[in-house]
Protein backbone atom coordinates (compact mmCIF):
# COMPACT_ATOMS: atom_id res chain seq x y z
CA UNK A 1 0.00 0.00 0.00
CA UNK A 2 1.06 3.54 -0.70
CA UNK A 3 1.94 5.40 2.42
CA UNK A 4 2.09 9.17 2.62
CA UNK A 5 2.91 10.62 6.01
CA UNK A 6 2.83 14.17 7.26
CA UNK A 7 4.98 15.35 10.14
CA UNK A 8 2.21 16.82 12.26
CA UNK A 9 -1.52 16.26 12.58
CA UNK A 10 -2.12 19.55 14.37
CA UNK A 11 -0.08 22.74 14.56
CA UNK A 12 -0.67 26.06 16.27
CA UNK A 13 1.49 28.97 15.19
CA UNK A 14 1.53 32.72 15.65
CA UNK A 15 1.21 35.32 12.93
CA UNK A 16 4.57 36.05 11.36
CA UNK A 17 6.16 32.74 12.26
CA UNK A 18 7.89 30.62 9.64
CA UNK A 19 6.16 27.28 9.38
CA UNK A 20 7.44 24.03 7.88
CA UNK A 21 5.12 21.21 6.92
CA UNK A 22 6.82 17.97 5.98
CA UNK A 23 5.56 15.17 3.80
CA UNK A 24 7.19 11.81 3.13
CA UNK A 25 6.08 9.04 0.77
CA UNK A 26 7.49 5.55 0.65
CA UNK A 27 6.46 4.44 -2.84
CA UNK A 28 9.22 6.06 -4.87
CA UNK A 29 6.68 8.36 -6.54
CA UNK A 30 8.03 11.06 -8.81
CA UNK A 31 5.17 13.49 -8.29
CA UNK A 32 4.26 15.20 -5.05
CA UNK A 33 1.62 17.80 -4.31
CA UNK A 34 0.51 20.20 -1.59
CA UNK A 35 -3.14 21.19 -1.26
CA UNK A 36 -5.13 23.15 1.23
CA UNK A 37 -8.70 22.24 2.06
CA UNK A 38 -11.21 24.78 3.31
CA UNK A 39 -14.97 24.49 3.86
CA UNK A 40 -16.88 25.54 0.78
CA UNK A 41 -13.73 25.81 -1.31
CA UNK A 42 -12.71 22.18 -1.60
CA UNK A 43 -9.14 21.16 -2.32
CA UNK A 44 -6.92 23.76 -3.92
CA UNK A 45 -3.46 23.06 -5.29
CA UNK A 46 -0.67 25.14 -3.80
CA UNK A 47 2.48 23.66 -5.36
CA UNK A 48 3.58 20.45 -6.96
CA UNK A 49 6.83 18.81 -7.93
CA UNK A 50 7.61 16.38 -10.73
CA UNK A 51 11.12 15.58 -9.64
CA UNK A 52 13.78 16.35 -7.11
CA UNK A 53 14.58 20.06 -6.99
CA UNK A 54 11.72 20.79 -9.38
CA UNK A 55 8.64 22.72 -8.40
CA UNK A 56 5.66 24.23 -10.14
CA UNK A 57 3.10 26.71 -8.85
CA UNK A 58 -0.40 25.50 -8.43
CA UNK A 59 -3.53 27.60 -8.24
CA UNK A 60 -2.81 29.44 -4.96
CA UNK A 61 0.98 29.66 -4.40
CA UNK A 62 1.02 33.13 -2.82
CA UNK A 63 2.47 33.10 0.67
CA UNK A 64 3.97 29.63 0.27
CA UNK A 65 7.16 28.05 -0.96
CA UNK A 66 8.26 24.44 -1.27
CA UNK A 67 11.40 22.36 -1.16
CA UNK A 68 12.14 18.97 -2.65
CA UNK A 69 15.70 17.94 -1.90
CA UNK A 70 14.98 14.22 -1.87
CA UNK A 71 12.56 12.21 -3.93
CA UNK A 72 10.57 10.97 -0.96
CA UNK A 73 10.23 14.29 0.85
CA UNK A 74 8.30 17.41 -0.08
CA UNK A 75 8.16 20.36 2.29
CA UNK A 76 5.71 23.23 2.35
CA UNK A 77 6.94 26.48 3.86
CA UNK A 78 4.88 29.38 5.08
CA UNK A 79 7.41 32.20 5.08
CA UNK A 80 5.39 34.41 7.40
CA UNK A 81 2.24 32.76 8.62
CA UNK A 82 -0.98 34.73 8.50
CA UNK A 83 -4.41 34.00 9.93
CA UNK A 84 -5.85 33.38 6.47
CA UNK A 85 -3.49 30.43 6.16
CA UNK A 86 -5.39 28.60 8.87
CA UNK A 87 -6.47 25.49 7.04
CA UNK A 88 -6.14 21.76 6.54
CA UNK A 89 -3.03 20.99 4.49
CA UNK A 90 -2.90 17.81 2.49
CA UNK A 91 0.09 16.24 0.80
CA UNK A 92 -0.28 13.77 -2.05
CA UNK A 93 1.97 11.73 -4.29
CA UNK A 94 1.62 9.89 -7.58
CA UNK A 95 3.64 8.11 -10.19
CA UNK A 96 3.43 9.01 -13.88
CA UNK A 97 1.85 6.35 -16.02
CA UNK A 98 3.34 5.00 -19.24
CA UNK A 99 2.17 6.57 -22.48
CA UNK A 100 0.90 9.64 -20.68
CA UNK A 101 -1.93 7.88 -18.89
CA UNK A 102 -3.48 9.54 -15.90
CA UNK A 103 -2.17 8.73 -12.48
CA UNK A 104 -3.95 8.44 -9.15
CA UNK A 105 -2.90 10.73 -6.34
CA UNK A 106 -2.57 9.23 -2.87
CA UNK A 107 -3.03 11.49 0.11
CA UNK A 108 -1.52 11.82 3.54
CA UNK A 109 -3.63 12.25 6.70
CA UNK A 110 -3.42 16.03 6.63
CA UNK A 111 -2.08 18.71 8.95
CA UNK A 112 -4.58 21.02 10.55
CA UNK A 113 -2.84 24.38 11.00
CA UNK A 114 -4.17 27.16 13.19
CA UNK A 115 -2.50 30.56 12.90
CA UNK A 116 -3.28 32.90 15.77
CA UNK B 1 -13.72 27.36 -16.75
CA UNK B 2 -13.29 23.91 -15.36
CA UNK B 3 -15.47 22.85 -12.52
CA UNK B 4 -16.53 19.67 -10.91
CA UNK B 5 -19.59 19.64 -8.78
CA UNK B 6 -21.63 17.27 -6.70
CA UNK B 7 -25.38 17.47 -6.86
CA UNK B 8 -26.17 17.21 -3.16
CA UNK B 9 -24.13 18.37 -0.18
CA UNK B 10 -25.56 15.72 2.16
CA UNK B 11 -27.04 12.29 1.51
CA UNK B 12 -28.68 10.32 4.29
CA UNK B 13 -29.36 6.60 3.81
CA UNK B 14 -30.47 3.69 5.93
CA UNK B 15 -27.92 1.05 6.78
CA UNK B 16 -28.17 -1.76 4.26
CA UNK B 17 -29.61 0.40 1.50
CA UNK B 18 -27.74 1.31 -1.64
CA UNK B 19 -26.27 4.82 -1.94
CA UNK B 20 -25.83 6.83 -5.09
CA UNK B 21 -23.62 9.91 -5.07
CA UNK B 22 -23.63 12.07 -8.15
CA UNK B 23 -21.10 14.38 -9.74
CA UNK B 24 -21.27 16.70 -12.74
CA UNK B 25 -18.21 17.93 -14.57
CA UNK B 26 -17.85 20.64 -17.17
CA UNK B 27 -14.59 19.88 -18.98
CA UNK B 28 -15.41 17.64 -21.92
CA UNK B 29 -11.67 16.99 -22.38
CA UNK B 30 -11.45 15.22 -19.02
CA UNK B 31 -10.50 11.63 -19.56
CA UNK B 32 -9.87 10.25 -16.11
CA UNK B 33 -12.05 10.36 -13.02
CA UNK B 34 -11.50 9.34 -9.42
CA UNK B 35 -13.70 8.97 -6.40
CA UNK B 36 -12.22 9.67 -2.99
CA UNK B 37 -13.59 9.05 0.49
CA UNK B 38 -12.60 11.34 3.33
CA UNK B 39 -13.41 10.40 6.88
CA UNK B 40 -13.43 13.01 9.59
CA UNK B 41 -9.93 14.16 10.46
CA UNK B 42 -8.27 12.11 7.75
CA UNK B 43 -6.94 12.66 4.26
CA UNK B 44 -8.86 11.59 1.14
CA UNK B 45 -8.65 7.89 0.42
CA UNK B 46 -8.78 6.49 -3.12
CA UNK B 47 -11.91 4.40 -3.76
CA UNK B 48 -12.17 3.76 -7.47
CA UNK B 49 -11.28 5.33 -10.78
CA UNK B 50 -12.54 5.18 -14.34
CA UNK B 51 -11.13 6.23 -17.68
CA UNK B 52 -13.18 7.92 -20.33
CA UNK B 53 -13.10 4.88 -22.62
CA UNK B 54 -15.28 3.06 -20.09
CA UNK B 55 -18.88 3.54 -18.96
CA UNK B 56 -18.80 1.45 -15.84
CA UNK B 57 -16.30 0.02 -13.42
CA UNK B 58 -16.91 -2.13 -10.38
CA UNK B 59 -14.97 -2.57 -7.21
CA UNK B 60 -15.78 -4.16 -3.92
CA UNK B 61 -19.31 -2.93 -3.09
CA UNK B 62 -18.74 0.16 -5.23
CA UNK B 63 -19.55 0.91 -8.84
CA UNK B 64 -18.68 4.03 -10.79
CA UNK B 65 -20.74 5.02 -13.81
CA UNK B 66 -19.63 7.55 -16.38
CA UNK B 67 -21.97 9.24 -18.83
CA UNK B 68 -19.85 11.35 -21.13
CA UNK B 69 -22.83 12.59 -23.10
CA UNK B 70 -24.16 14.56 -20.17
CA UNK B 71 -20.82 14.81 -18.33
CA UNK B 72 -22.06 12.98 -15.30
CA UNK B 73 -20.33 10.63 -12.90
CA UNK B 74 -21.88 8.60 -10.11
CA UNK B 75 -20.67 6.40 -7.30
CA UNK B 76 -22.91 3.58 -6.15
CA UNK B 77 -22.29 1.92 -2.83
CA UNK B 78 -24.08 -1.37 -2.25
CA UNK B 79 -25.41 -2.36 1.16
CA UNK B 80 -24.23 0.85 2.82
CA UNK B 81 -22.62 0.36 6.20
CA UNK B 82 -21.94 2.77 9.10
CA UNK B 83 -18.26 2.73 8.13
CA UNK B 84 -19.20 4.28 4.80
CA UNK B 85 -20.14 7.52 6.52
CA UNK B 86 -17.75 10.13 5.15
CA UNK B 87 -17.39 12.90 2.63
CA UNK B 88 -17.09 11.67 -0.94
CA UNK B 89 -15.25 13.66 -3.60
CA UNK B 90 -15.12 13.20 -7.30
CA UNK B 91 -12.07 14.43 -9.17
CA UNK B 92 -11.38 14.77 -12.86
CA UNK B 93 -8.37 15.48 -15.00
CA UNK B 94 -7.40 16.03 -18.59
CA UNK B 95 -3.65 16.23 -18.06
CA UNK B 96 -1.07 14.62 -15.79
CA UNK B 97 -0.88 15.93 -12.25
CA UNK B 98 -3.82 18.29 -12.54
CA UNK B 99 -6.76 16.99 -10.57
CA UNK B 100 -9.85 19.12 -10.17
CA UNK B 101 -11.95 18.22 -7.16
CA UNK B 102 -15.62 18.63 -6.49
CA UNK B 103 -16.91 20.14 -3.26
CA UNK B 104 -17.85 16.84 -1.72
CA UNK B 105 -21.03 15.08 -0.59
CA UNK B 106 -21.46 14.02 3.00
CA UNK B 107 -22.89 10.53 3.30
CA UNK B 108 -24.69 9.83 6.55
CA UNK B 109 -25.66 6.24 7.31
CA UNK B 110 -28.53 5.78 9.74
CA UNK B 111 -28.54 2.59 11.81
Question: For position A96, what pLDDT does the model report?
Answer: 77
Q: Within the 47-86 window of chain B, which residues sit less than 8 Å (CB to CB) from chain A?
A: 49, 51
- Give me the pLDDT at residue B1, please: 35
pLDDT at B7: 54
- The domain containing residue B59 runs over which residues? 4-110
If you average pLDDT over every residue of chain B, what do you get?
90
Cβ-proximal residues to B84 (8 Å cutoff; 6+ apart), any chain? B19, B37, B77, B107, B109
Domains located in chain A, CATH noted: 4-98+105-111 (2.60.40.10)
Q: pLDDT digits over B68-99, tens only?
A: 999 999 999 999 999 999 999 999 988 777 88
Question: Collapsing DSSP states into helix, strand and coil, what is residue B84?
Answer: helix
CB contact under 8 A, B43 and A94: no
Contact flag A105-B99 (C-beta cutoff 8 Å):
yes
Position B98 scores a pLDDT of 81
Distance in Å, alpha carbon of B12 to nearest chain A alpha carbon: 20
d(Cα B69, Cα B92) in Å, to the nearest integer? 16
Sign for the CA dihedral angle at B93, B99, B105, B106 comes to: positive
Cα torsion A80, A84, A89, A91 to 10°: value is -60
Residue in chain B closest to A108 (alpha carbons) equals: B43
Which residues, including other chains, have CB under 8 Å from residue A84's CB and lie 6 or more apart? A115
Number of domains in chain B: 1
> What's B44's domain CATH number?
2.60.40.10
Name residues of chain A where pLDDT drops below 70.
Answer: 1-2, 98-101
Which has more pLDDT, B3 or B82? B82
Amino acid sequence: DVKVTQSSRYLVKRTGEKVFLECVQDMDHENMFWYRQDPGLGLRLIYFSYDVKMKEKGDIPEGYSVSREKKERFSLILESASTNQTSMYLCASSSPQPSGGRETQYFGPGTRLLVL
Amino acid sequence: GESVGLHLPTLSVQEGDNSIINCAYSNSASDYFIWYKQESGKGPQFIIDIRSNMDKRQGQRVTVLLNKTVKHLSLQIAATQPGDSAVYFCAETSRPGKLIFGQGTTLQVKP
